[in-house]
């Protein structure tokens, strides 16, 4: 009960956010995860392309 009261008082103290403030809050909260997901997707695509190119080379010309 006390936690609910603290949450309610805090929400009332801060007031309602304007739409641009909500957008900024969401961007700050979830933006890093979106960027991380994009980086992981790009790197996986590059790694898959390199693996396909390496598999396409004749046996004697492989680097590894």
The residue ranges of every structural domain in the chain are: 18-64
Q: Dump pLDDT digits (tens) for 21-63.
A: 888 988 999 999 999 999 999 999 999 999 999 888 877 665 5
Structure-derived torsion over alpha carbons of residues 43, 47, 50, 54, reported in degrees to the nearest 10:
170
pLDDT at 5: 81
- pTM across the whole model: 0.59
Averaged pLDDT, 10-29: 81
Tokens of 30: 């979830």
Rounded Cα–Cα distance for residues 29 and 16 (Å): 18
pLDDT at 52: 92
Q: Which residue has the higher pLDDT, 4 or 12?
A: 4
């Amino acid at each position: 009960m006390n936690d609910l009261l603290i949450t309610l008082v805090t929400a009332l103290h801060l007031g309602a956010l304007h739409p641009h403030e909500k957008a900024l809050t969401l961007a700050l909260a979830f933006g890093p995860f979106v960027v991380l997901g994009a980086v992981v997707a790009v790197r996986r695509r590059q790694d898959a392309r390199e693996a396909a190119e390496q598999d396409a080379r004749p046996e004697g010309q492989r680097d590894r």
